[in-house]
Amino acid sequence: MTKISSIEVYQIDIPIKEGKYNWSHGNSVSVFDSTIVKINTDKKISGLGEVCTLGSSYLPAYSEGVRTGINKIGKALIGLDPTDLSMINSVMDINLKGHNYVKSPIDMACWDILGKCTNQSVWKILGGKFGKNVRLYRAISQEDPATMSKKVKEYKQEGYTKFQLKVGGDPNEDIERIKLVRSILDKSDVLVADANTGWLMHEALRVIKATEYLDVYYEQPCASYEECLSIRNKTYNPFILDESIDSINTFLRAFHDDAMDIINIKISKLGGITKSKLLRDLCVELGIAMTIEDSWGGDIATAAIAHLAHSTQEKFCFSSTDFNSYNSFNYANGSPQRDKGCFSASDKPGLGVSVDEKLMPVPEFEIK
């Protein structure tokens, strides 16, 4: 039996290539604070995990909380078998109620170890690889409509065919954003207007009624589930829920309420790959398509996203994303690289990534 011998925790800063990333409620980040976890074992096999929260005012998660939480639960994991994923998750849940984002990089690192111990890629353990690659969406940071339209044109040249506009601001500008961008896209291109909870109900209705004649998906228009459901019942366009889906239970409620056509699965929001797989498989069984991603991340998080997305049947994988291409700092080898708007999961054992030791800081702390 393999046993966890130590847990190393690193903090790294990840700047954005474009200088700044903006979305609803005036949120903006230029440098992301990411936490990398390295789990070492007595068999000299190590696993990597990462979580990168989208600031501190997007979801109930923040970067400093990741490291504090790991310091709280880490000791209870020493000596456990990292390939016994059910036990690992049970012990984490017993020692820390909630705070799924804290548990995500630990669970991710354990999947990496499981793959290495069995000489299998994570996608293989998750159910197999579907298709040659996974088509990605490109998130367009919230700016004036003309600037956002210009960026969409540039990303189309790079091969993207799916675009997620960050709306949820002034309704008049959002209407212009959606109309302008849709007008420059091909019929086969996908456009998602993602409000990230930014509209009040009357604002959401204004924007939707002014643009619903276009081929556009609407994502998480309002803050609460009940508000989103109310808006959902007033439009016939495809509807996506993201922030409201934070557990299996909330998904089941939304499914029975016919509250959405697509959901976003963010790995850290659910607590790691283990519970994300559970929700993924449930969506497949119930016929719900998914965007498979995370809140943000670097090379390790992007690798985990790729394995979960690539092991999902193509018709159920609405889209995914390659966060490492948004960043100006890459710290690992083997992470998926975008090619004409697509990426693919590594065929190497585990997640298939290794950190560049020259680029890594010393651990912030180590638990033994």
Encode burial over 213-227: b for 16+ CB neighbours within 10 A, e otherwise.
eeebbbbbbbbebeb
- Strand-pairing partners, residue 56, are none
Residue identified by tokens 């557990």 is 247
Nearest Cα neighbor of 266 from 250, 285, 287 is 250
Q: Which residues carry out catalysis?
A: 166, 266
Give the Cα separation of 308 and 267 in Å (integer). 9
CA torsion sign, 248 to 253 to 254 to 256?
A: positive
Q: CA-CA distance, 275 to 152, in Å (whole number)?
A: 33
Neighbour count for residue 337 (Cβ, 10 Å):
13
What is the number of other CB atoms lying within 10 angstroms of the CB of residue 344? 18
32 — phi, psi (to 5°)? Answer: -90, 140
Burial 234-246 (b: 16+ CB within 10 A, else e): ebebbbbbbbbbb
Phi, psi of 335 (to 5 degrees): -70, 150
